[in-house]
Amino acid sequence: MCIIIIKNNKKLIKTETLLTSAIKNPDGLGILWLDTWKVTYHDSKDYMELKTQRPYIAHFRYATVGKVCRANCHPFHIDDDNILFQNGTVHGLGNKKKTDTQHMAEILSDLPRKRWRSVLEMNDSRFVTANLKKKSFTIYNKEDWITRNKIMYSKDNVLDMTLIGVYGTLKKGYSNYHAHLRTETYVGSGETVDKYPMVIKGIPYLLNRVGDGHNVDIDLFLVDKDAMMDIDMLEGHPHWYQRKRIEVITNKGNVFMPYVYFNDNHDNGEYHKTYTEDVWDYNGYDGYNDYISDECTCANPEPIMDYGDCYCDVCYGTIDKHQQINSITKYM
């Protein structure tokens, strides 16, 4: 429910953090600019306004009390000089039209300034008040905030997110999507800004060679740290596929820099724009066997069993019986 970001320095916040803030809190954005002490209001989709060295206090809203409209975006005026931000909900305040934060601002307006802290910290919400005339602000329930790179966040569910672009079985609705990305945040679909050659030999291989092939179809996802590790393991990064950031333009015209996985080990000269699972079905396990047909040459192979055979989880090469016994013994 909402997030407040306090950036009182020239540091730049990761685009993924701002994008996650907007997706999770789509009901409006309010910004107090700490260099001018002026307030501006925006749609959450205008999150790139915050990709700046300017200092600010920003609030992304997720509506829980009060209707979704510009008038219900934070901050709210307590009086002519003071404004209020909140992340959380004060139960019993607000109604279908008015937010609980606006109601709290009205309560504070009738109280002396010295009582604000005791009233606000009776609740487990995170609050900020700012005095536009004195050019100062106060943070409440400060122990509940998270500081990262000298920037304060009222909650941590927008941090440590990574934007990835997928083009094969991880695409939305496909087989590996259900196993690995179904619970992650789907951002949208698009294509690579530059042309790349994508080879399909049972599974797809995107070659890291700009200018050849097509503008490859991509699905974008925001993933947390655990999911990022999971996808890296699935793709064998960095031993088999290697990921790098490239430009992807969405169907709505937005340009992002997600991580995309490349593999230059297969090039049959036949390049595709998109991957569909009927290609996998058509090629069957011929493509899969080609994927893992080379013999493992690792000094310390990590054996995995698949389809009754043993393969190395580092290089995806086959492991012979002698090597398999020696490798598995170290795990016993």
29 and 143 share a domain?
yes
Name the helix (H) or strand (E) containing 120.
helix 116-120
Q: Are residues 198 and 228 in the same domain?
A: yes
Q: What are the pLDDT digits (tens) for 190-230? A: 999 999 999 998 889 999 999 999 999 999 999 999 999 99
Same domain, 325 and 298: yes
Residue range(s) defining the domain that contains residue 257: 162-290
pLDDT of 168 above 60: yes
- Catalytic residue list contains 235: yes
pLDDT category of residue 284 using cuts at 50, 70 and 90: very low
234 and 105 within one domain: no
From 184, 235, 270, 295, active-site residue: 235
- Structure confidence at residue 309 (pLDDT): 54
Interatomic CA distance for residues 61 and 73, integer angstroms? 7
Q: Domain check: are 145 and 251 in the same one?
A: no
Domain count, the chain: 3
Q: Which pLDDT value is given to residue 173?
A: 87
Provide the CATH number for the domain around residue 22: 3.60.20.10
Name the CA radius of gyration of the chain, rounded.
25
Is pTM beyond 0.75? Reply is: yes
- Whether the pLDDT of residue 320 is over 80: the answer is no
26 and 146 share a domain?
Answer: yes
321, 232: one domain: no
Owner of token pair 């606006």? 102
Q: Residue 113 has what DSSP assignment?
A: G
Residue 291 has pLDDT above 60, yes or no: no
- 28, 41 in Cβ contact below 8 A? yes
Same domain, 225 and 132: no
Q: Which two tokens stand for residue 331?
A: 């795990």
109 three-state secondary structure: helix
Chain-wide mean pLDDT for the chain? Answer: 88
Q: Are residues 58 and 139 in the same domain?
A: yes
Same-domain check for residues 120 and 248: no
Residue 244, pLDDT above cutoff 90: yes
Same domain, 129 and 197: no
What is the per-residue pLDDT for 1?
76
- ∠ CA 105-21-92, rounded to 5°: 30
Same domain, 197 and 187: yes
